[in-house]
Amino acid sequence: MIGEKPFENKTVLITGGTGSLGKILVQRILSGELGIPKKVIVFSRDEAKQHQMRISYLQKKVSTDESIYQNFAHTLEFRIGDVRNYANICLAVKGADIVINAAALKQVPTCEYFPEQALLTNCMGAANIVQAIQENDYPVQTVIGVSTDKACKPVNVMGMTKAIQERIFTSANILNRKTTFICVRYGNVLASRGSVIPLFHYQIEQGGPVTVTVPEMTRFLLSLNQAVDTVFAALRFGKPGETYIPNAPSAEVINIAKALIGNRKIEIKFTGIRPGEKMHEIMVSEEEMHHTIRRGDYYVILPMLPELSDVITTTSILKKEFSSADSVIDFNKTVALLKQHELMIGEWNHIEDGELLR
């Protein structure tokens, strides 16, 4: 736990900082809501996205909050590099106080076809961060590993590699007592890369059909800002080896499609479950629920390693695994959720990189 202003005068490294989550993280950190940072380092291997991100700040297209741009001018730094490369990671981590690891291969089909690539980014990238801190005795205060609901009882390569990433960061607390390693785990983020919504918007613009896997499929849903809130909560209140999980709502994918189609006469086509997909996602497994507590608005999975456990849970907060099939919101609430996040209107190409729901 590092207080109310964890970013105050700190150097923050965000790997995968040009991704959907990374962009909102940078905005929120630069806003100063949790303290004015000394430096924010965006680390990624895509020079085009870094250039686009830099230009968007220079042209003040990111936000209406003027303080963000005042902080940007002397705070934001871009670095090209790859989490797979140990030397790259050493140069980036050196001097950082806080590391948020958002770099990942996260598309389920891609990871199924190229599992070795998913292993290198999702697992070896995390291991490189841990090794860099340990071998060089870098004074990093906190590392946040960004995970996914697919890491819970994984059936696909993406989930399997993310599950191993969680274990890499959890176990790192034992030999790196000066650094706190914490994970966050959440489901599909509305309108991010990997979200189905940009695809649905595009298909609707083209006159259909809108493609849905199966009618019964459910997914957890939260906004990018709620994902960032989860990272911030873990940073402020998390203890070594814990995993933070938002109590997010879930919806049937068919209702998301129907809500976006509205009164338009557009066909819905069912395509079947893709390789590596689950019908319902799980955020906390039956095994983990016995180690889960409630802290504020979040579930927290306590570390199972005895060296890290200082809390013995005698009563389970959860009576069963936390599944997206448990508390599915109905059609009207799905419409309200999409309206709340302004996803019912606007052109599809406002939303970044539409791809299939994982």
Angle at 102 between CA 133 and CA 34, to 5 degrees: 85
Distance CA 293, CA 219 (A): 23
Q: Where are the beta strands (DSSP E) in 45-179?
A: 76-80, 98-101, 142-148
Q: Cα dist. 342→165, 192, 335, 351 in Å?
A: 33, 13, 10, 11
Our measurement of the distance from residue 339's CA atom to the centroid of its chain's CA atoms, rounded to an integer in Å, reads: 22
As annotated, the active-site residues are: 150
Distance CA 170, CA 147 (A): 12
128 within 8 A of 83, measured Cβ to Cβ: yes
Distance CA 42, CA 16 (A): 7
What token pair was written down for 223?
């906004």
Q: Cα dist. 107→47, 180, 195, 199, 252 in Å?
A: 21, 28, 10, 14, 20
Distance CA 154, CA 133 (A): 28
What is the three-class DSSP state of 279?
coil
| HEC per residue, 67-88 | HHHHHHHHHEEEEECCCCCHHH
